[in-house]
Structure 1
Amino acid sequence: MSRRVAVITRTKNRVALLGRAVESVLGQTEKDWVHVIVNDGGDPEPVDSLLASYKERYCGRLLVIHNPQSLGMEGASNKGIMASDSTYVTIHDDDDSWEPEFLETCITTLEKTPFPTVRGVVTHTNQIFESIDESGVKEVSRRDFDPWLVSVSLPEITEINKFMPISFLFRRDVFDVVGFYDDSLPVIGDWEFNIRFLSKYDLIVVQQNLANYHIRVDGHTKYANTVTAGKDKHLFYRDLIVNKHIRKDLESGRVTMGQLMAFGDYFHRLGNNTWRLVQVVERLKNFAPLKVLRRLLRV
């Protein structure tokens, strides 16, 4: 049965967080959706036990997939997407949440746009910092992830990911042109997909905080965010993606090695100037009169 929206949730042995994601989806004012939960190689029993208590509230709008072995985040996303049928798709990770109007607002905004190249919607996002222990999840603080976000250009997204999967809803038919998520990437697959999306289409930014991106601040490995726990891995795979595209341009003649070396030389000199500035600041910190002034200011 085709639904208006397919909500894809990837999870693995994180039932303590999955319940919040379930409540987030069930609480939406838009009701025409299917929630596809992909248990990516985790223990199926706790997932089935949790979801059994929600059976009546789901009213047949739940599809659970248990992967015997993990396919990775992007592979799990693709499996959930291909197992569903809908007009729109959105990724709702097991540790994130929405405000009740997220789906309704995104769909209404997208359907009202007069621009045919617009195929997606992004909302503003609350960045929620939290801790987790035996007693449950506790919010520590929150802030607006990017209060100045009004639009997203292709050059901007190639520098850094401007939005999270939890804040992004898009038309399913974009997969026919840009392809699915790259399942060879263990991290930053959403960023790589966003680049391909914006290389063909545009999106609208809704300046309302309707998505919640949750970040654990303690050292709990099981519930850690990949963006913090796997920072070095993110940088490594980012370089793989960047190098792949540059090599394509080198091979086609669109970019020359001389141009690349010119850019490298510029950033090398810029880095040296920054290093010199850091050295000056460090010396000033040890300058005796400034030390006295700092002590006085503390008083």
Structure 2
Amino acid sequence: MKKLVSIVVPAYNVETEIEDCIRSVQQQTYPEWELLVVNDGSKDSTAAIVEKVAAEDSRIHLFNQQNAGVSSARNTGIREASGIYIAFLDGDDMWEPEFLEEMIAAKEKYHVPMVYCGYSHLYTGGIRRKFTYPYVNGHILHDVINKKTQIHIGAILVDKSVIDQHNLSFTEGCLVAQDQEFVKKLVSLVAVRAVPRELMIYRIRTGSAIRAKWDWKKHIHGVYAFRRSAKFILLQSLIHYDKQQLARDLAVREAFNLYKLLWRMIKNGYEQEALELMNDEENVRSLEKLEVDRVKFIHRLKCSAVKSRNKFLWWLLRYV
């Protein structure tokens, strides 16, 4: 008997893409699924389009909620999910027809709680960019932390029991990187297997979050998300890792992420705000963990400039 897969789709103002997303699920060669579309207070016709398609397919379910963000929408989907397996797909993204079949085959062949695959970027005009990261298997937390591989939230399949057992959820109110926080927590708990094919299509659309104007108040949430995931990870038993080495790697990566944020703030004219962040006690401790000798030469120069707190130098750097 085939096992049911719950597919959680958060949707906000995606009237031009949501039907393509749903059709990509309907075209799956693996038929045992339920599609949980959570309309996060869309102001366009997203909900009406989903209702129309759902009327033709009893496996599709629409949940409407007031706008509360993508994390809230995904959490709603998790609560409503009844499948043995769970997957996530944003309302403007798509899967290749073999996604579920190949992911489940790999999962059951290797007896792992989680599998992931590659993905391609789809740009306006139909241009595609291929997945360039290596596929790694097993206990891969170090690879994920150090960005030796990349796991997209829309390119995973995981036992729902893992999420339930550890009470995992997406951090509500987090504006960026809430998906990577969730992924890091997952891979800290289980062994994974890669399906070395690009079975997910990540659409880069005009007006999407990835193309929006850079805002430090938004992107600092990425630092906070990493910090939360690190704290969660270090509370686990971690029998497959050297906990001391892992703590070091997490601290170094957090410091590097913070340095990059500060550098970009300075480049965009937020010198005073950068100084205030650098004076924060937790950020001071974090930056002390940055191992400059482990980064490229250009980053050593940039890091030295950031730490100098020299506003004239910072002003010059805006034109570098």
TM-score, normalized by length of structure 1? Answer: 0.73
* Structure 1 gap segments, 5+ residues each: 131-137, 277-299
User: 3-state SS of the aligned residue for 2:17?
Assistant: helix
Contact 2:184–2:229 (CA<8 Å) still a contact in 1? no
Contact 2:176–2:222 (CA<8 Å) still a contact in 1? no
User: 3-state SS of the aligned residue for 2:90?
Assistant: coil
Find the counterpart in structure 2 of residue 28 from structure 1.
Answer: 28
Which whole-Å CA distance do the structure 1 matches of 2:219 and 2:153 have between them? 19
Q: In the alignment, residue 118 of structure 2 is paired with which amino acid? A: H
Which whole-Å CA distance do the structure 2 matches of 1:80 and 1:13 have between them? 17
* Structure 2 gap segments, 5+ residues each: 235-243, 252-281, 303-320
Q: Shift of residue 74 of structure 1?
A: 1.0
Q: Shift of residue 56 of structure 1?
A: 5.7
Closer, same or farther: CA 108–41 of 1 in aligned 2, 3 Å: same
Closer, same or farther: CA 233–191 of 1 in aligned 2, 3 Å: farther
Closer, same or farther: CA 148–16 of 1 in aligned 2, 3 Å: same
Q: For residues 108-155 of structure 1, give each alpha carbon's deviation from its aligned partner in whole angstroms, at most 9, with x where no partner exists.
A: 1111214xxx2111112112111xxxxxxx41x112122532447202
Q: Shift of residue 267 of structure 1?
A: 5.4
Aligned match for 1:89, one of 86, 92, 97:
86
Find the counterpart in structure 2 of residue 143 from structure 1.
Answer: 129
Contact 2:135–2:196 (CA<8 Å) still a contact in 1? yes
Q: Shift of residue 29 of structure 1?
A: 0.7
Q: Is residue 195 from structure 1 mapped to residue 221 from structure 2 by the alignment?
A: no
Q: Shift of residue 243 of structure 1?
A: 4.2
User: 3-state SS of the aligned residue for 1:86?
Assistant: coil
Find the counterpart in structure 2 of residue 264 from structure 1.
Answer: 290
Q: For residues 193-234 of structure 1, give each alpha carbon's deviation from its aligned partner in whole angstroms, at most 9, with x where no partner exists.
A: 111111111211111121111112xxx43xx2x234265456
Aligned match for 1:123, one of 117, 123, 130:
117
Q: Shift of residue 15 of structure 1?
A: 0.8
User: 3-state SS of the aligned residue for 1:16?
Assistant: coil
Which whole-Å CA distance do the structure 2 matches of 1:111 and 1:247 have between them? 31
Q: Is residue 173 from structure 1 mapped to residue 161 from structure 2 by the alignment?
A: yes
Which whole-Å CA distance do the structure 2 matches of 1:273 and 1:61 have between them? 50
TM-score, normalized by length of structure 2? Answer: 0.68
Find the counterpart in structure 2 of residue 241 from structure 1.
Answer: 225
Contact 2:13–2:43 (CA<8 Å) still a contact in 1? yes
Closer, same or farther: CA 72–149 of 1 in aligned 2, 3 Å: same
Higher relative contact order (CA 8 A, sep 6+): 1
Find the counterpart in structure 1 of residue 61 from structure 2.
Answer: 63
Q: Shift of residue 91 of structure 1?
A: 0.7
- What RMSD in Å do the two structures reach over aligned CA positions? 3.4
Q: Shift of residue 95 of structure 1?
A: 0.9
Closer, same or farther: CA 228–177 of 1 in aligned 2, 3 Å: same
Find the counterpart in structure 2 of residue 133 from structure 1.
Answer: none
Q: In the alignment, residue 237 of structure 1 is paired with which amino acid? A: H
Q: Shift of residue 268 of structure 1?
A: 10
Contact 2:181–2:228 (CA<8 Å) still a contact in 1? no
Q: In the alignment, residue 14 of structure 1 is paired with which amino acid? A: V
Find the counterpart in structure 2 of residue 10 from structure 1.
Answer: 10
Percent of matched pairs sharing the same residue: 21
Structure with a larger share of its residues in strand: 1
Which whole-Å CA distance do the structure 2 matches of 1:192 and 1:237 have between them? 11
The alignment of Structure 1 onto Structure 2 pairs a total of residues equal to: 252
